[in-house]
Structures are given as structure tokens and as C-alpha cells.
A = this chain, B = another copy of it.
Amino acid sequence: MSLLFKHLRVHQVFGANTDVGKTILTSGLVRASAAKKNRVFYLKPVSTGPIQDADDEHVNRYAGPHKALVDTHCLYRFDEPVSPHLAAGMAAKKAGARSVIVPTDDAFITSVSSYIRKCAAGTAEKSHMYIETAGGVHSPTLSGTTQLDSYRPLFLPTILVGDSRLGGISSTISAYESLLLRGYIVDSVLLFKDQYYRNWEYLGPYFAEHGVRVSAVDPPPPREAEPSRNFLITEEYYSKLAANDHTGGLFGVVEYLDERHEERIKELYSMPRRTLDTVWWPFVQHGLVKGEGDVNVIDSAWGDHFTVFNGHRSPSPSTPSAVVTGSLLESQFDGSASWWTQSLGHAHPALNLAAARAAGRYGHVMYPQATHTPALRLAERLVHGGPGKGWASRAFISDNGSTGMEIALKMALRVASKQFGFAPQERKKIGVLGLRGSYHGDTIGAMDACEEGVYTCEWHQAKGYWFEPPSVGIKNGRAFVKIPSAVAKQKDVEGQPLSWVYNVSARLDTALASAYRTHVNGTLEKLAGSATPLGALVLEPLVLGAGGMVFVDPLFQRVLIDAARSRGLPVIFDEVFAGLWRLGMHSAAPLLGAYPDVAVYAKVLTGGLVPLAVTLASEDVFRAFEGENKADALLHGHSYSAYAVGCEVANAALDLSERVVRGEAWRAARAAWEAVGEGEEGGDGGAAAPAAAVWSVWSPQFIDVLSKLDVIEQAMTLGTVLAFKVRGGDIGYQSHSAQAMLKTLGDATVGGTSHDVTSAPGGAPFSIHFRTLGDVAYFITSLNTPPATIRAVEDRIWASLGR
């Protein structure tokens, strides 16, 4: 987690390379800060190289005459003058294998974070802290992760010590770009004035273009062989960097860093008001936003957590955390996976590098009748190896799920029009079949494929018929299927394992399947007599997302698909939310034992970085638009269709996802569900088999106890999704009952358990950001959220429910 204190300004010092004067300039900054009567903390988390001085001398070296105001600290010290990862290895070898424990990145960051918090809590004076990293920006730290990735969770403002030697322009700019690729705030570039190479003269205007100030100071005098003489000239040099009259040397830098610190805090305090004055949020009733405290100010994000500002909420009693830790920033678990988009964590370096690579090579280039590698690879992998495997022949790439669904609808409606020979006026009224509670996006065409409801706008005209869906849930530790009386006069299925419910092929011969068929076919026969011709079946397989996280009986969806197919209706799968492993599987098609004709993917397609959608289509659908006449083509396309950045990020996200899916955490989660009698592999392989469908990253024990609570009407989970309906209060989308019941999740200090210590990076307490759909609360993790974090979130939910 990132930290920010009013009284304690913290900067990390990165070097453009080793031996660029990082230690000298940091010492100078320490002394200049101290000369101005600030309390100063100097932290060197990892030190390598011969240990020249004991702790006292160490302070002397950094603090000079200001010893009383300066604390110095080192967390890990090695005497070999090599990269930390090698130093740790050598030390381990020397000491005999396992006696030197190399900290994990998490443990390392926790140590640094603890030190910062301890220093902040230990003083109320105006203080400065300088954290000196080791080597260059990308030098490996103890675990082997490079430094700027390793320090990234702390997201500290940065001083980059530039290289004043020949070649130093290049290494300084490259180091800056590496910092920038991790989003760091670089407050200052600092380097020596080498009078021959004069790098600072070039770098000054260069960085000014990037809004970064460059400061240059005289280089230190050459080292003298005689120690006392050397001490004297060194002290003389430092006395110029941090002179008694507080002018020249590094004082300008210290003052500038103070200003940047204050501006940053001022900016954060101003953001809620300015946002309320200018922004129109999606899906928010601004009239219900009570004030600045209701604005979530996200300063940065990393992995599964936001770092949010809390200054505008203090001293509200609901967030005593700000008082306790003193930090104006706190960790917040991104419990809705940022509106269902995150699947690999925020700011994942591999996705960011993919975006940079494509932007650098192409920018965005024209797509119609053109091709480029990122788009072609994405199309091929989705069609041949991804969710399109076995049925799709074409990929149509667009910008978001809603446009992807409009494209899908245009495809299916054309197929139906040709198939059934609809007249022009009939075509405008073609209806779709769907499920009550479906949601396919916010554009008006996508909405017309849904019933009238709270989301709909003036022009909405529901076109179709929507079945009341039987739904799946867990209560008292067992799965049930709730059967609406309109569907069948039959008691709900109860007391089954979840895996039984999802073994669709095994259930095709049951009495319930027959009842479903009778209902569906009967309804379709009745509809055949109506004025609305039917053109497509449009389904969100397995779960109605925006409709309230309703898990639909997959058997009912299979029966619907079979019925639609037998009548020649094309079938659309809207897997915008649920596809690509969100529910633990690539696509629901294998589980349902039925392929679609058209299917749409978005959200997690890019791992949660940038918008993109893909509509996959079968060869028959494609052929319905092929001809000699341009007007018969699918005349739909957005300017940024298949933009290179989006496609390249999607390729990287799919690569990473495939690794996670085969990884240890998923294997362990599957095993946990198997251990309680769920998640068995079933069927005979291929499309008809329920491919180990029933498991979740959420623990079966947690679901079990949750589903036994009185206040919980039902719970449900698959893959990364957990949803539960609370009892009491209003029902439906406008209800606030789930929000109210879980409100303590918004607080970083309530309900903490031992898990907290390992869950938010840096070991700090964290709050949970979550969304509700009326009386339904849901929580969604990334594919790679660490199990310890998920356990911590479970504990927090449990505590929040008053347990």
C-alpha cells in the first residue's frame, strides 16, 4: 500500500545506474533537510558492499553536523559489492544454505512500510525521509524482482539520480522511462554538473517537457588517499551542498520537494469537490451523493488494491484509520474487480509493456481491409484455440461489450431475416428469446433485447419474450434449484451437491428436463401465433450479471438452446461478463453441451486495462453477409476497431491468464472443492462434458457457513465470483439493504483479523470497495488474487455481517 503523511514527506531515491552519486546526493539531501531543522529519516533498505562503518559512523557520514536530527536505518546488509540478489545468494552460501532468509517481495515491502509508519507515528514534527534504493532502477533486489517492480506497491514519490558521465543522458532517460512505465511520480532528477559532458544542459529542457525538474550540483572532489584529509574535503563539499545559510547547494531541491509534497496533498484534498462540480458519473444518482466524503479518490492502484485518499473523510467516525495510522492514503480491496474488468490485477507490468509495445509500433492503424499482427493473433487465438474452438470461424473486434452485443444482434437478425424471409416491416419487429433479468449493455439496441426495467430509457422498446429462469443457489450448505411456478408446478430441487446441478448432460433425462421442455415448447408454440416473429435466442450463460448475479439453472438454458436450434433460431451467448475464466472456465459452452452461433467477449479480455470486445461468429453467420453488394455487408465499425494497443494487451492478458489457470493456486482451489464432494470431472470429454465446472476461488467452508446465516437468503459462487442475497429491506435494484448491511467493509480498521497482515501489500489495514445490486452483494477477485487475500476478504465479510 502507498503511504502519505502531512508531516512526513517521504521520497525514494533511485539511480539511473550504479556509481552515479546516489549515496552522496542522498547524504546531501539528508543534511540539507536537517539544516533546515527538519527531523530526517534515512533508510537504506538493502546495503551491499564492504561495511565501512558501524551504525554511529553511518549516521555521521549521512548527517554530518546534524546528527541529533537524523535517524539512519538499514534493513538488510551484505558485504559483497554485487547486486542484492547475488549478495544474498553469496551470503547464504557462506553461512550454509538456509540460514540467510531472502525475504519475499511482500515481506520486503512490509518491512519498509513498517519502518515508514513507525517513523511517522513516532514524531509529530515536520520530517523528511529519504529511502535510498540499491544500484539502478532495474537492479534486482533480494528476491530477484527488479527494484522498481519490487517497490511499486508503496508508490512513493521519486527522486531520480541522473548519470553525469558519458552515456549518462541515455541511461538517465531510459531509467526515467522505466519508472514511468510503473506510473511513478518522479518529482526531481538530480545529477552532478560534469563540466565536460554537460549532461544536465541537455536533460534540463528534455525533462522540462515531461514536467520534471532537473537540478545539478557540483561533483564531489576526487577521493584523497589520506583518510583525515579525505574526511576534511568531503565535509567541506557537503558544507556547500547544505550550507549554514540555507542557500545554494541542495536547498533549492529540498524546497522544491517540499512544494511538490504540499501540492500533492492539496490536489488530493481538492479532488472530491472538483469531481462533484464537473463529473457526471455513470450509473450514479448524483442526488444521493451526500458530499465530498462520498467520492472515492483513487490515487493509484496495484494488484488487487486501490490506494485511496482518506483526508476528506476525516475526522469522520467511520474512518478512524486516518487518525490511527496518520496516513492520508489507505489500501482498499477492489471488491468489484473494477466493475468486473480486472482479471490480473491493476497495473500489471506485462500488460503495460504490451500496451507500450503496440503504441510504439503502430499507434492505432486503420482496420477495414487491413491487418496487423496484434489483431490477427487475437482473432486466431479466440477462434481456433479459445472460446470459439469447435464452432466459430470469424472474429469481429469492437470497443466494448455493449457494441459487441449490438454487432451480435445485427448478425443474428440478418441470419433470421434471410432464413425466415422476413419482410422489411417485419424485420423491425423481430423479437428475441431470452431470460427475465437479462442485461446486454447500455446502448439502446442492446437494451431492446431485454425487457422493460429500471435501466431502460425513453427509446427503449423491448423486442422479444423473456422466460422466468429457474435459479441456482446455496442455502444451509447445499445447492438448490428454485423453480418458478410459471415454469413448472414442481417443488424446488434441494439438498444436492452443486456439482450435480452443473452436470447438465446427466440431467437431460430427468423429469425436470421434461418439465422444462414442456414449458419452453408450449410457450414457443403460443408465441408462434403472435405478431412478433422470433429471430434469435440471446443468453448470458450461467449467470445474469447486471440482473442481480442470478445463477440460472444450466439445464434450463440447455433446454432453451435445444428448442431454439430445432426452430432454426441462431443462438447468441453474451459471455461479456462470465466468459474467459471469470467463472473458472473459458466458456460455458462445454458445460452446457451446446455451442452458440455468435458469442461476445469483453471486460476481462484485456485483463482489465483498456476497453475491447470481440464478437465471434460461425461460418454460416459470416456467409449471411457475404455477397456482391456492399450494402449487404455488416456495416458496423467504430473508428478504433481492433486498435493495436487493445489487441496486444488482450494477447498478453490471455497469455498470462492461461498460465494462471494452469497454476498452483487454481489447482489448490479445485482440490478444496473436490475435498467437500464438489467439482468432480464428469461426462465423456468434449463439448458435452462439464469440464470440472463446479469450484471457486472462494473457500467451500466460507460458502458453507455463509449460506447458513439467517441474514443470508442464499449464497452462490463459481470461479472468481461470490454473490449473496441479504434478507430484509426493500428488494430489487433500488434497494440499499446489502449496502447497508456490509457498510463496515468501507472501513480500513474494522474487522481486522490475522489475515490482514499479509493481505494488503505492505501489511497495512485495508478497506473493501464493493458494489451491490439492490439486495445482492457480490465480490469478484482477479484470476490471480492471492489466496491469503481472499481469505482475508472472507474474514472481513464475516466480521461485517456481525459474526
Query: Which of A240-248, A290-298, A513-521 is the interface stretch?
Result: A290-298
Q: A285 touching B627 by the CB < 8 A rule?
A: yes
Contact with B along A359-397 (1 / 0, CB 8 A): 111111111111111011001100110000000011110
Q: Which chain A residues (723-770) contact chain B, with CB distance < 8 Å?
A: 733-734, 769
Instruction: Give the contacting residue for A202; candidates B140, B395, B441; CB below 8 A.
Output: B140
Contact with B along A254-289 (1 / 0, CB 8 A): 000000000000010001101100111111111111
Instruction: Give the contacting residue for A639; candidates B174, B375, B400; CB below 8 A.
Output: B400
The distance in angstroms between the C-alpha atoms of A643 and B18, with both chains bound, is 36
Q: B442 touching A285 by the CB < 8 A rule?
A: no
How far is the CB of A600 from the nearest CB of chain B, in Å?
Answer: 13
Question: Is A705 an interface residue, CB under 8 A from the partner?
Answer: no
Q: A178 touching B167 by the CB < 8 A rule?
A: no
What are the residues of chain B within 8 A of A348 when measuring CB–CB?
363
Q: B196 touching A170 by the CB < 8 A rule?
A: no
Residue of B nearest to A403 (CB): B443
Q: B360 touching A170 by the CB < 8 A rule?
A: no
The distance in angstroms between the C-alpha atoms of A730 and B445, with both chains bound, is 32
Q: B19 touching A167 by the CB < 8 A rule?
A: yes
How far is the CB of A688 from the nearest CB of chain B, in Å?
Answer: 26
Contact with B along A175-217 (1 / 0, CB 8 A): 1011011111000000000001110001000000010000000
The distance in angstroms between the C-alpha atoms of A685 and B136, with both chains bound, is 55
Contact with B along A572-610 (1 / 0, CB 8 A): 000000000000000000000000000000110000111
Q: A733 touching B399 by the CB < 8 A rule?
A: no
Question: Is A318 an interface residue, CB under 8 A from the partner?
Answer: no
Question: Is A427 an interface residue, CB under 8 A from the partner?
Answer: yes
Contacts A351-B363, A357-B180, A361-B300; A284 near B170 (Cβ below 8 A): no
Q: A297 touching B174 by the CB < 8 A rule?
A: no
Q: B137 touching A454 by the CB < 8 A rule?
A: no
Question: Is A224 an interface residue, CB under 8 A from the partner?
Answer: no
Q: B288 touching A630 by the CB < 8 A rule?
A: yes
What are the residues of chain B within 8 A of A373 when measuring CB–CB?
267, 271
Q: B455 touching A271 by the CB < 8 A rule?
A: no
The distance in angstroms between the C-alpha atoms of A284 and B397, with both chains bound, is 13
Instruction: Give the contacting residue for A459; candidates B285, B428, B442; CB below 8 A.
Output: B428
Q: A442 touching B355 by the CB < 8 A rule?
A: no
Contact with B along A78-89 (1 / 0, CB 8 A): 000111011000
Question: Is A236 an interface residue, CB under 8 A from the partner?
Answer: no
What are the residues of chain B within 8 A of A458 when measuring CB–CB?
410, 413-414, 417, 422, 427-428, 430, 535
Q: A178 touching B180 by the CB < 8 A rule?
A: no
Instruction: Give the contacting residue for A342; candidates B363, B372, B633, B634; CB below 8 A.
Output: B363
How far is the CB of A46 from the nearest CB of chain B, in Å?
Answer: 14
What are the residues of chain B within 8 A of A394 when measuring CB–CB?
278-280
Residue of B nearest to A382 (CB): B278
Question: Is A336 an interface residue, CB under 8 A from the partner?
Answer: yes
Q: Which chain A residues (613-628) contact chain B, with CB distance < 8 Å?
A: 617, 622, 625-628
What are the residues of chain B within 8 A of A437 when measuring CB–CB?
none
Instruction: Give the contacting residue for A346; candidates B267, B364, B632; CB below 8 A.
Output: B364
Instruction: Give the contacting residue for A283; candidates B167, B363, B368; CB below 8 A.
Output: B368
How far is the CB of A224 from the nearest CB of chain B, in Å?
Answer: 24
Oligomer: number of copies: 2
What are the residues of chain B within 8 A of A287 when measuring CB–CB?
626-629, 632-633
Q: A395 touching B636 by the CB < 8 A rule?
A: no
Contact with B along A144-163 (1 / 0, CB 8 A): 10110000000100000000
Residue of B nearest to A603 (CB): B639
How far is the CB of A14 from the nearest CB of chain B, in Å?
Answer: 9
Question: Is A505 an interface residue, CB under 8 A from the partner?
Answer: no
What are the residues of chain B within 8 A of A395 when measuring CB–CB?
278-280
Q: B366 touching A347 by the CB < 8 A rule?
A: no
What are the residues of chain B within 8 A of A393 when measuring CB–CB?
278
Q: Which chain A residues (1-43) contact chain B, with CB distance < 8 Å?
A: 15, 17-19
Q: A400 touching B399 by the CB < 8 A rule?
A: yes
Question: Is A670 an interface residue, CB under 8 A from the partner?
Answer: no
Interface centre among A272, A402, A427, A628 (most CB of B within 10 A): A402
Q: A184 touching B360 by the CB < 8 A rule?
A: yes
Q: A352 touching B342 by the CB < 8 A rule?
A: no
Chain A: how many interface residues by the 8 Å CB criterion?
173
Question: Is A488 an interface residue, CB under 8 A from the partner?
Answer: no
Q: B183 touching A359 by the CB < 8 A rule?
A: yes
Interface centre among A172, A383, A446, A609 (most CB of B within 10 A): A609
Q: Which chain A residues (65-89) contact chain B, with CB distance < 8 Å?
A: 81-83, 85-86
Q: B271 touching A371 by the CB < 8 A rule?
A: yes
Question: Is A460 an interface residue, CB under 8 A from the partner?
Answer: yes
The distance in angstroms between the C-alpha atoms of A642 and B182, with both chains bound, is 20
Question: Is A467 an interface residue, CB under 8 A from the partner?
Answer: no
What are the residues of chain B within 8 A of A358 when measuring CB–CB?
183
Q: Which chain A residues (641-677) contact chain B, with CB distance < 8 Å?
A: 641, 643, 645-646
Q: A282 touching B400 by the CB < 8 A rule?
A: no
The distance in angstroms between the C-alpha atoms of A340 and B700, with both chains bound, is 52
Q: B360 touching A181 by the CB < 8 A rule?
A: yes
Q: A282 touching B363 by the CB < 8 A rule?
A: no
What are the residues of chain B within 8 A of A396 when measuring CB–CB?
280, 282
The distance in angstroms between the C-alpha atoms of A285 and B282, with both chains bound, is 36
Q: A352 touching B362 by the CB < 8 A rule?
A: no
Q: Which chain A residues (314-364) contact chain B, with CB distance < 8 Å?
A: 334, 336, 338-342, 345-349, 351-353, 355-364
Q: B294 touching A610 by the CB < 8 A rule?
A: no
Q: A282 touching B177 by the CB < 8 A rule?
A: no
Instruction: Give the contacting residue for A295; candidates B175, B340, B370; CB below 8 A.
Output: B370
Question: Is A451 an interface residue, CB under 8 A from the partner?
Answer: no
Question: Is A796 an interface residue, CB under 8 A from the partner?
Answer: no
Q: B633 touching A443 by the CB < 8 A rule?
A: no
Interface centre among A166, A170, A283, A367 (most CB of B within 10 A): A170
Question: Is A477 an interface residue, CB under 8 A from the partner?
Answer: no
How far is the CB of A459 from the nearest CB of chain B, in Å?
Answer: 6
Q: B82 touching A636 by the CB < 8 A rule?
A: no
What are the residues of chain B within 8 A of A470 when measuring CB–CB?
none
Instruction: Give the contacting residue for A611; candidates B81, B210, B454, B643; CB below 8 A.
Output: B643
How far is the CB of A729 from the nearest CB of chain B, in Å?
Answer: 14
Instruction: Give the contacting residue for A365; candidates B306, B368, B632, B640; CB below 8 A.
Output: B306
Residue of B nearest to A372 (CB): B298
Instruction: Give the contacting residue for A197; candidates B82, B196, B299; CB below 8 A.
Output: B82
What are the residues of chain B within 8 A of A733 when measuring CB–CB?
630-631
The distance in angstroms between the C-alpha atoms of A267 and B362, with both chains bound, is 17
Q: B167 touching A17 by the CB < 8 A rule?
A: yes
Residue of B nearest to A429 (CB): B459
Q: B368 touching A282 by the CB < 8 A rule?
A: yes
Q: A271 touching B376 by the CB < 8 A rule?
A: yes
Q: B83 touching A197 by the CB < 8 A rule?
A: yes
Residue of B nearest to A341 (CB): B639
- Can you pick out 9 interface pairs between chain A and chain B where the beta carbons lie within 8 Å of each other? A135-B166, A139-B170, A280-B396, A301-B363, A341-B364, A346-B364, A352-B356, A410-B457, A444-B444
Apart from A146-B170, A283-B635, A338-B639, what 17 extra A-B contacts exist at CB < 8 Å?
A135-B169, A180-B360, A183-B357, A275-B376, A282-B398, A283-B368, A285-B633, A287-B626, A288-B628, A296-B370, A298-B370, A298-B371, A347-B362, A352-B356, A364-B608, A399-B403, A610-B610
Closest 3 CB pairs of A and B: A282-B637, A136-B170, A444-B445
